Amino acid sequence: MSTSIQYLLRRLGFYAIAAWAALTLNFFIPRMMPGDPASIIFARFRGKLNPEAMVALRETFGLTDEPLLGQYFTYLKNLLSGDLGISIAYFPQPVTEIISTALLWTIFLAGTSLIISFSLGTLLGTLAAWKRGGRLDSFLPPALAFFGAFPYFWLAMVALFTFGFGLGWFPLRHAYGDAVTPGFNLPFMIDAIYHAFLPALTMVMVSLGGWMLSMRNTMITTLGADYITFARAKGLPSKMVMLKYAARNAILPNFTGFGMALGFVLSGALLTEIIFSYPGQGYLLLEAVRAQDFPLMQGLFMTITLAVLGANWLVDIAILFLDPRTRR
């Protein structure tokens, strides 16, 4: 067991270095973009603001001419104390406040659809491989591959147009309706699910095929292994052979993939969120980049980085339990 802990700690050290590198890039890359936030805000007024306003704008945002390296150390120091600064586009809202609301909606929408798509895809892949050449196996993979080939924003637009605009079955925008008050109440929760249905559906449709195919393919390889034949020969119930012997081993690559995808959930389904006016992280990121809102960009990239690394670490732990070989 001590070797396992050693392994986890070693991984943790690696993640710490990766986090530092990512956070450093977070700081420097946005600043390499041409232009500065005050000029961009000034230009957005398209002539309605005098050039004299630039002094006031720079003063407001606290933009300094301090050397970049000095700013970098202040940034690191603030990060360690949990201070992500004040957003420029949403001045004077603290970045943490803006991100926290968007984060919840993104986790809800992208997280739910990822879990649905992963579990459904893995299950279908298992079933398809178990009964190779059956109806499920011959019909579903090509159909899902067909949907998976669509860019998901395109599918989202078609869904919005048909079911939202044309038929009027689903709302056209937002995460909840006007009639409900956000909070821990049933009408709000039902409304939130209703609003998330169409965007989540399009995301599941597109990603389902990938999970199913990869599961099916690994499963087929696993089913050819000697221990499966042995398990069958032992006369174990076929359900047990399928799930405990074949699927448990075949799920490992999918599980790693799930960890990766879990991390990327936080970057938000950018285009889906834009199409459905969903108030999540993805759209926020786009706005931040457009306005050259350095603090907001840094905050968003940081949450994404930490989520990816954190999810990977969790997968490392999970694999430790699933796959005894890593425990050696």
Partner 1 sequence: MKDKTFKMFSFHCVHQYILKLSSAVLICFILIFNNCVQHEKTTGSPPFVISQEQVSSFVRNFNPLIPSGSSRWPTVSGIYEPLFIYNSMTGIYVPWLATGYEWKDGNLQLDVTIRENVTWSDGQPFTAYDVSYTFNLKKTNAALDPRASWGYLKSVEAINDHLVRFKFLRIFVPGLHALTEQSIIPKHIWENIDDPVKFTNPNPVATGPFTEILRFDHQIWELGRNPHYWQEGKPAVERLRFYAYPTNEQATIALINGEVDWAGNFIPAIDRVFVGRDPENHHYWFPRVGGSIFLYVNTTKQFLDQVEVRKAISLAINRELIVRVAMYDYTIPAHPTALADGLAPWRSPTATENGDWVEYDIERANEMLDNAGFKKGPNGIRLLPDGKELFFDISIVSGWSDWIRAAQVISQNLKLVGINTRVKTRDFGAWLSSMQNGEFDMGIAWTEKGPTPYRLYRGLMSSEFLKPVGETAEVNWHRFASDEVDSLCVAFEKTSDKEEIKQIIYRMQEIFVDNAPAIPLFAEPSWGQYNTKRFTNFPTEKNPYAQISPNYPPENLLVLVNVEPK
Which of residues 9 and 193 has its CB atom nearest to partner 1 in the complex? 193
CB of 248 to partner 1, least distance (A): 17
Find out whether 219 and 250 touch, Cβ atoms under 8 Å.
yes
CB of 98 to partner 1, least distance (A): 7
Which of residues 98 and 315 has its CB atom nearest to partner 1 in the complex? 98
Please identify which residue in the block is written with the tokens 């699910």: 193
Q: What part of residues 184-203 is at the interface with partner 1 (CB under 8 A)?
A: 187, 190-191, 193-194, 197
Residue of 20, 28, 146, 165 that binds partner 1 (CB under 8 A): 165
CB of 226 to partner 1, least distance (A): 20
Phi and psi of 153, rounded to 5°? -70, -30
CB of 321 to partner 1, least distance (A): 27
CB of 94 to partner 1, least distance (A): 10
Which of residues 36 and 83 has its CB atom nearest to partner 1 in the complex? 36
- The first and second tokens of residue 99, run together, are 């991100």
Find out whether 95 and 84 touch, Cβ atoms under 8 Å.
yes
Q: Does 314 bind partner 1 (CB under 8 A)?
A: no
Which of residues 19 and 40 has its CB atom nearest to partner 1 in the complex? 40
Helix (H, G, I), strand (E, B) or coil at 91: coil
Which of residues 60 and 256 has its CB atom nearest to partner 1 in the complex? 60
CB of 92 to partner 1, least distance (A): 4
Q: Does 131 bind partner 1 (CB under 8 A)?
A: yes
Find out whether 298 and 26 touch, Cβ atoms under 8 Å.
yes
d(CA 87, CA 68): 19
Phi and psi of 234, rounded to 5°? -65, -15
Find out whether 265 and 107 touch, Cβ atoms under 8 Å.
yes
Build a one-symbol-per-residue string for 84-123: x at contacts with partner 1 by CB under 8 A, - elsewhere.
Answer: --x-xxxxxx----x--xx---------------------
Residue of 3, 138, 221, 238 that binds partner 1 (CB under 8 A): 238
Find out whether 142 and 311 touch, Cβ atoms under 8 Å.
no
Please identify which residue in the block is written with the tokens 């957003």: 87
Residue of 4, 7, 19, 39 that binds partner 1 (CB under 8 A): 39
Q: Does 155 bind partner 1 (CB under 8 A)?
A: no
Q: What part of residues 51-70 is at the interface with partner 1 (CB under 8 A)?
A: 51-57, 59-61
Q: Which residues does residue 94 pair with via DSSP β-bridges, in sequence order?
A: 86
Q: What part of residues 7-36 is at the interface with partner 1 (CB under 8 A)?
A: 33-36
d(CA 158, CA 104): 26
The answer, yes or no, to whether the previous bond of 324 is cis (omega within 30 of 0) is no
Which of residues 176 and 211 has its CB atom nearest to partner 1 in the complex? 176
Phi and psi of 306, rounded to 5°? -65, -35
Contacts of 249 (CB under 8 A, 6+ apart): 222, 225
Which of residues 136 and 144 has its CB atom nearest to partner 1 in the complex? 136
Q: What part of residues 262-291 is at the interface with partner 1 (CB under 8 A)?
A: 273-274, 277-279, 283-284, 287, 290
191 burial type by CB count under 10 A (0-12 exposed, 13-18 middle, 19+ buried): buried
